[in-house]
Structure 1
Amino acid sequence: MALTADDTRDWGLPLAGPGLLLDVPHEGLWAQRPALHFDAAPGYRLRVASGDQALLWVRIDGYWDRCGFLRGPPGAPWGLPSLSAAEVREVKHAPGSPLWWEAWMWRLGRALAQSEHPVLYAGRWCLRPVRTLRPPEGYRYPISTMEWRFGQPPCLPHSLEAVTRFERFWVEDWTAYGPPSEEGMFQGAVVPLRTPSPREDGRVKSWRKRSRDGTLPPAVLLYVDLLGKWLVLDGHDRIHAALLEGIPPPLLGLWPVLEEVQPSSPEGQRGVLQAAEFHLRDGARPSVVDRVNRMLLLNFQGSRRSTVTRAWPLKGGLPAWRAEVLAWRRSSAFPADAQDWEWFVAPRK
């Protein structure tokens, strides 16, 4: 695997600094499904799995109005090995400095390359420092095909406090109508992959001290473009510790890279301009203007970088996905709104 510097500014969002490009070969171990991967079934059914163990089942509504999530049992092998105290002490640069970020990116990039349970697959990946934002500053979920297309830049992360909870089942409203609010659903939310450690846990206490003195290593978040979410790939306890101290944790974002040249389409561009005019008529809030600008850039720039998460076909398709979900509910009781659950497990596509 080749690791090279990436200091470009063509991602279309304010990243926290330069990063790394990881070029993963199309052979050997990397040609297989990684330990942590996505399976897909018809009707926007997804499964996040580690090996053959499901960690998360997802259903997206056909009209993109809502999305349901069901957690499976955590603990299957995936991700990166735990950082030791000695490894943390080896990074002696001033916390938060460019050299500090560079040292941690190379360490964690090599860990991704050498992991016994890989999360990367063949192709190009980007690993860069990312900033967080407040939920209402994020992008709403799309309401038209002009806004959601194959491949987009990642959205900045928000709602890190999710690592302190472990909801078993929930359904999100993805409709984009109404004014922004703290309760609205925005792209970029963080989703943990395991239960939180108790605040009395030894590693959490140790990371809290590191957070106070500024030497907390960055956590790694994996972006999933179809969901518009960040999965916590490495560093659940580090994020938890920083939140307990009221200090923003340092974060590295990881996402697969799609680089393409876009053919010119006058018809498509006219449609985009009409959609922009519709959104901007009678004035618009700054967040709407920013969203329209992003849509125009996505559709008019000749070449672009974006991210697309790869998924593997789920053996057995929709019936297999549904059978797994129903079996998990029978073996593991948890509360669920009856109407939401009926929609989530419905056999229709």
Structure 2
Amino acid sequence: MQRSDVTRDDGTWVGLSLDVPDRRQPELCVFGAGARLLVSQLSRPVLLAIVEEPLQGVDFWRTDAYRSFVPPLRADMGRALSGSPERWAHHFARHLGDSPGSPLHEGRWLLSCESPLKRRRHAATSHAEYWSSMLVEGHPDGYIDWCLHSTSWEILPLRPMPGPDDSRVKAYRKQAREGTLPPVLLWWVSGLDCHLILDGHARLAAAVAESIEPPLMQLHRTLPHDDLAARVGDAVRFYECELARFAELRAVHGPTVPDGAATAGPQLVRLLHDLDTGQRPTWAWPLPGGEGQWHRIAREVTVGNRWPPA
């Protein structure tokens, strides 16, 4: 896997671009069967979901099978990497690439410290209140309400969130107060329209308990190289056409007409950045056996419970 830094035009670090070759199907995988989804890790069902028609939300059933592929983070590592999103990104990227149970597959990905979740909190809302509201509730079953939380891109834990007095949470609360709390690793899954916690359930619980903004690392798919090259070419040609159009106007109306660079230039920069970092839909593989197999798995993991809902 090749890693490369992604920055803005002013040099601000955004994240790591991960170029993954020759990994056809990951060990943490989304399968689809019609309106039904299955998230599986190392062949173990992790999450069953049904997209409610007409696209109003998702009913889900969460098993306790998920295991993080990131080894436990010690306090001394938190202090050593504190304040360096770049170093944390490389730490997570190494485990994403090398450890079993990761969602990476062939293509380009972005592992970024920037997240739309951080931009939605109102100044009058405390961090504890806001981040608590972003957590999808329910275990083992629950509902992701796309109408009530339209485009809020909530956070769905892959196991029950520990309480504020949990021993791990207490340890992380101390790090949160010291400003050395390691990031929470999130994976954007478009079929659920929310983020899954890959690593850091206790760290997020600690941030909520201490009412601080949790440091985040967000993982999502980006454009593959061939699509990126084609769209960059289209963007550059549009930029050149804009400059040519302004040049024709200047030839007719004189130098009082701007040359267009002040408008088209920043637009091109924004477009190129968006093409390089923008989210792409999550791949879902056809579930072998289709809906019948999905229902068989649902019966096995929800035995004795009335799920899915009628």
TM-score band, normalised by shorter chain:
0.7 to 0.9
User: CA 1:174/1:239 → structure 2, altered by over 3 Å: closer, same or farther?
Assistant: closer
User: CA 1:50/1:234 → structure 2, altered by over 3 Å: closer, same or farther?
Assistant: same
Residue 168 of structure 1 corresponds to: 140
Matches within 5 A, 1:62-81: 62-71=53-62, 73-81=63-71
Residue 87 of structure 2 corresponds to: 103
Could you tell me whether the CA contact under 8 Å between 2:89 and 2:111 is conserved in 1? yes
Question: For residues 119 and 40 of structure 1, what CA distance do their matches in structure 2 show?
Answer: 15
User: CA 1:62/1:165 → structure 2, altered by over 3 Å: closer, same or farther?
Assistant: closer
Which of 67, 74, 79 is matched with 1:89 structurally? 79
Residue 121 of structure 1 corresponds to: 105
Give the gaps of 5 or more residues in structure 1.
Answer: 10-15, 137-157, 176-182, 265-296, 343-349
Residue 6 of structure 2 corresponds to: 6
Question: For residues 234 and 192 of structure 1, what CA distance do their matches in structure 2 show?
Answer: 9
Residue 288 of structure 2 corresponds to: 315
- Letter of the structure 1 residue corresponding to residue 56 of structure 2: D
How far residue 6 of structure 1 moved from its aligned partner, in angstroms, is 0.8
Which of 196, 199, 215 is matched with 1:231 structurally? 196
Which of 22, 41, 47 is matched with 2:38 structurally? 47
Residue 19 of structure 1 corresponds to: 15
User: CA 1:242/1:174 → structure 2, altered by over 3 Å: closer, same or farther?
Assistant: closer
Could you tell me whether the CA contact under 8 Å between 1:20 and 1:127 is conserved in 2? yes
Matches within 5 A, 1:1-349: 1-8=1-8, 17-26=13-22, 30-31=23-24, 33-42=25-34, 44-71=35-62, 73-91=63-81, 95=83, 100-131=84-115, 132-134=118-120, 159-161=131-133, 165-175=137-147, 183-259=148-224, 260=227, 261=230, 304=275, 305-331=278-304, 333=305, 341-342=309-310
Question: For residues 17 and 249 of structure 1, what CA distance do their matches in structure 2 show?
Answer: 18
How far residue 187 of structure 1 moved from its aligned partner, in angstroms, is 4.0
- Letter of the structure 1 residue corresponding to residue 28 of structure 2: L
TM-score, scaled to structure 1: 0.65
How far residue 76 of structure 1 moved from its aligned partner, in angstroms, is 4.0
Question: For residues 132 and 27 of structure 2, what CA distance do their matches in structure 1 show?
Answer: 24
How far residue 328 of structure 1 moved from its aligned partner, in angstroms, is 3.0
Residue 267 of structure 1 corresponds to: none
How far residue 17 of structure 1 moved from its aligned partner, in angstroms, is 4.8
User: CA 1:64/1:5 → structure 2, altered by over 3 Å: closer, same or farther?
Assistant: same
Superimposed CA distance per residue, residues 288-339 of structure 1 (whole angstroms, 9 cap, x where no aligned partner): xxxxxxxxx9xxx7994441211121111011112222343334x47x7xxx
User: CA 1:114/1:34 → structure 2, altered by over 3 Å: closer, same or farther?
Assistant: same
- Identity level (%): 29
How far residue 164 of structure 1 moved from its aligned partner, in angstroms, is 8.8
How far residue 119 of structure 1 moved from its aligned partner, in angstroms, is 2.4
User: CA 1:107/1:330 → structure 2, altered by over 3 Å: closer, same or farther?
Assistant: closer
Question: For residues 159 and 69 of structure 1, what CA distance do their matches in structure 2 show?
Answer: 21
- Letter of the structure 2 residue corresponding to residue 64 of structure 1: L
The DSSP-based 3-state class of the residue aligned with 1:69 is strand
Residue 125 of structure 2 corresponds to: none
How far residue 80 of structure 1 moved from its aligned partner, in angstroms, is 1.5
Could you tell me whether the CA contact under 8 Å between 1:35 and 1:78 is conserved in 2? no
How far residue 214 of structure 1 moved from its aligned partner, in angstroms, is 0.8
**Bigger share in helix:** 2
Could you tell me whether the CA contact under 8 Å between 2:187 and 2:218 is conserved in 1? yes
Could you tell me whether the CA contact under 8 Å between 1:80 and 1:117 is conserved in 2? no
Residue 140 of structure 1 corresponds to: none
How far residue 66 of structure 1 moved from its aligned partner, in angstroms, is 3.2
Greater mean deviation of Cα atoms: 59-68 or 46-55: 59-68
Give the gaps of 5 or more residues in structure 2.
Answer: 123-129, 235-266
User: CA 1:119/1:74 → structure 2, altered by over 3 Å: closer, same or farther?
Assistant: same
Question: For residues 78 and 122 of structure 1, what CA distance do their matches in structure 2 show?
Answer: 21
Question: For residues 217 and 256 of structure 1, what CA distance do their matches in structure 2 show?
Answer: 23
Question: For residues 193 and 171 of structure 1, what CA distance do their matches in structure 2 show?
Answer: 14
Question: For residues 164 and 207 of structure 1, what CA distance do their matches in structure 2 show?
Answer: 21
Question: For residues 15 and 208 of structure 2, what CA distance do their matches in structure 1 show?
Answer: 25
